[in-house]
Amino acid sequence: MRDIARGAGITDAAIYYHFSSKRDLFEALFEERGITSALSDLENVTITEQPLEETLVGIAVAAQGILQRNKDFMKVLLSEAMSEDPVATEDYRRITERWRNAEARILREFVRRGELPQMDVDVAARQLVVLSVGPFTDELMSGQDHDGQEPSAELLKRVRSGVELFVRGLQASTT
């Protein structure tokens, strides 16, 4: 809990006073930092006539903004999950599962429209999440991250490129 307090910029005592468990604390942070509402928006988004690549790149870029604005919290969550903390691991799994399911729903719609071939959309959705979380985590782990509310231009370039290449690969498999 001490790492969480430090990452959130509050004292240990304040955490223990307000939250009965680490799970309650993480849930409050997901909610307060807009992560839960962003996932709800993604889960309920109306799929328009916007091209597939533009749609998926837009989601990945928006995710980078959310990750960057919550960088300190994400550092704590990721480090706790990598240390096999059961609460952090479960919360990370739960959040990324919601993200993957939303991406899979979007991919299913593009398959239904005939703009993508039949595929395992769950595997493709998981890869799309990895194409967002991976570069963000790489910047954190390599000391290349920066302060500020918005992701770096270099990070956005990497994420855009990765998603664009992935989408083109999916589309090319129709031939």
CATH classification at residue 140: 1.10.357.10
CA–CA separation, 41 vs 39, rounded Å? Answer: 5
Both tokens of 51, joined, read 């091209």
Stretches in the chain below the pLDDT threshold 50: 175
Q: Which run of H or of E encompasses 118?
A: none
CA–CA separation, 38 vs 105, rounded Å? Answer: 16
Say what the pLDDT of residue 31 is: 81
Say what the pLDDT of residue 11 is: 64
Kindly state whether residue 12 falls inside one of the protein's structural domains: no
Say what the pLDDT of residue 29 is: 76
Say what the pLDDT of residue 10 is: 63
How would you label 133-170 residue by residue, b for 16+ Cβ within 10 Å and e otherwise? bebbbebbeeeebeeeeebeeebbebbbebbbebbeeb
Say what the pLDDT of residue 7 is: 60
Say what the pLDDT of residue 19 is: 67
Say what the pLDDT of residue 16 is: 61
Kindly state whether residue 30 falls inside one of the protein's structural domains: no
